[in-house]
Structure 1
């Protein structure tokens, strides 16, 4: 259980849903261990948040536990989507703990937001990768089938076709890493799905991820973005943490997850 996630489902304001999918990682696998690692490192955190004067144990957070994948990724994503949608219908904010970034498909399909905001090193605009349309490199491409607007924060790598698509599609906004600290969200509704791929961080801060990319974001910048965007969110995920470091990536991810819950709860 994630520390402090002590609420029963029938009283939950937030539901932590583990999604340890790890089938399409193209460099360093291990995201299947992500949800477990986040729960482990969070044991060291204080229950109290001085930014909002709240305690995590008082915020009605429920731990759904992991939705364990089988052999069929499409079937798994369909089931996970249903789980996310069920929580939305119960007026509970789903918080998905990946797992590879492909689990975000289930997240935003279940929430059906207007806007998808993602902290990520990569554009993820491929239609398929290695012949697989359900690959972690296709997430943004699939998001454009669901949402009206995509904002990618910290993106610094992508295919030639991906960068061309950014230039041609006015629904996509890319904020490069050096501009993210000054970025301020302009959101008219509370219908955002926020995804954090931990590789948005510079690998000096979070080496434990599948496809690390240098020249990334600092943790303080990621924390600022989460606290500003969280009040507008109907769903959230944090993905791509693996077991290839000494807990740096998991510690950052677990802190960002809690920052999301604290900031969201403080606005409601």
Structure 2
């Protein structure tokens, strides 16, 4: 399905696969994730009903645009940002399936053009605030440094973090990033509230490896699957877009992590559906 040629009603929910992992620093493999997540999404082992009682199979404003293609020499930033912008201009709200976390920078570049007071909630084991990693300023360890230095978001809140380096603490202070470290628990959730549109970025390694072994970077001490679902369902704010990134099928066990990612996708669709039709937000604020 071509987003440039497809008519979609206002406030449609759109899914886009971004199979790109060339900015991964440790292992390749997240480029395989979008298709694997879809396999689990449609698996006969489960169904398409969400926990809040929405039957996604009967949702007539849900569109899947398939996967972006990346040809040799493609400028990944412009390619992603251009496609995302096309969908947003048509009135869609987008959920992207990565891919490594570098894809979030061009996604947010497009979102910032539509929402001039964008908030970001970022769930991850890592803050991804390096100014540069291994000589690559677009590394999957750097997207939120790029986002904040370009002032693409008015507020960045991070949770699940358990790998802060001295450099990244300095970066967080420089950009006024609100970091909720995993060692301090999840009590922050009841106090967290966003004024204006919220973009949710979920790195699958925010979860403890016991719940999501299919991640390139295993970092013990993370969230449970229920923790993340609770955040999706209970967050005080209006979610206008999201991504699920860094799932690596090469590291998965019996599709365990792809089922987790598919579950999160279902619950995000339900939450965006709720926010779109019950609590609409001004796209310019």
The residue number in structure 1 matching 2:245 is 239
Q: Contact conserved, 1:230 with 1:260, CA < 8 A, in 2?
A: no
Query: Aligned-residue CA RMSD in angstroms?
Result: 1.9
Please say which of residues 9-18 and 255-264 is displaced more in the overlay. 9-18
1:10 to 8, 14, 18: 8
Cα deviation, 1:171-229, whole Å, max 9, x if unaligned, reads: 2101122422551331122x111100001000111111121211111110000111233
Gaps of 5+ in 1: 2-7
Match of 1:197 among 190, 199, 203: 203
Change (3 A) 1:170 1:137: closer
Is 2:191 aligned against 1:187?
no
Q: Tell me by how many angstroms 1:236 deviates.
A: 0.8
1:4 corresponds in structure 2 to none
The residue aligned with 1:5 is none
Partner SS for 1:188: strand
Per the alignment, residue 260 of structure 2 pairs with: 252
**Aligned partners of 1:230 and 1:264 also within 8 Å:** no
5+ residue gaps, structure 2: 278-285
Q: Runs (4+) of structure 1 moved beyond 4 Å? A: none
User: What's the secondary structure of 1:49's corresponding residue?
Assistant: coil
Q: In structure 2, the residue corresponding to 1:232 is in which secondary structure? A: strand
Q: Is the 8 A contact 1:70 1:76 kept in 2?
A: no
Tell me, in whole angstroms, the C-alpha distance in 2 between the residues paired with 1:194 and 1:50.
Answer: 19
TM-score (norm 2): 0.85
Residue pair 1:128, 1:134 contacting (<8 A) in 2 also: yes
Partner of 1:218: 224
C-alpha spacing 1:35/1:108, structure 2 compared with 1 (3 Å): same
- Given that residues 17 and 97 in structure 1 are in contact (C-alpha distance below 8 angstroms), is that contact kept between their aligned partners in structure 2? yes
How far did residue 231 of structure 1 move?
5.6
CA distance in structure 1 between the aligned counterparts of 2:219 and 2:65, rounded to whole angstroms: 32
Q: CA–CA distance in 1 between the matches of 2:66 and 2:7?
A: 11
Q: Is the 8 A contact 1:201 1:217 kept in 2?
A: yes
**Displacement, 1:24?**
2.1
Tell me what 2:270 maps to. Answer: 262
Compute the TM-score of the two structures, normalised by the length of structure 1: 0.90
CA contact (8 A) 2:241 2:272 kept: no
Q: Structure 2 CA distance, aligned partners of 1:71 and 1:230?
A: 42
| Shift in alpha-carbon separation, 1:231–1:250, aligned structure 2, 3 A | farther
- Looking at structure 1, the residues matched to 48 and 236 of structure 2 have their Cα atoms a distance apart, in angstroms, of 19
Deviation at 1:25, TM superposition (A): 1.6
Aligned residues: 258
2:144 aligned residue: 140
Answering whether residue 25 of structure 2 is matched by residue 26 of structure 1, we say yes
Where 2:200 maps in the other structure, the secondary structure is strand
Higher mean displacement: 242-251 or 170-179: 170-179
Question: What SS class does the counterpart of residue 97 from structure 1 fall into?
Answer: strand
Is 1:175 equivalent to 2:173 in the alignment?
no
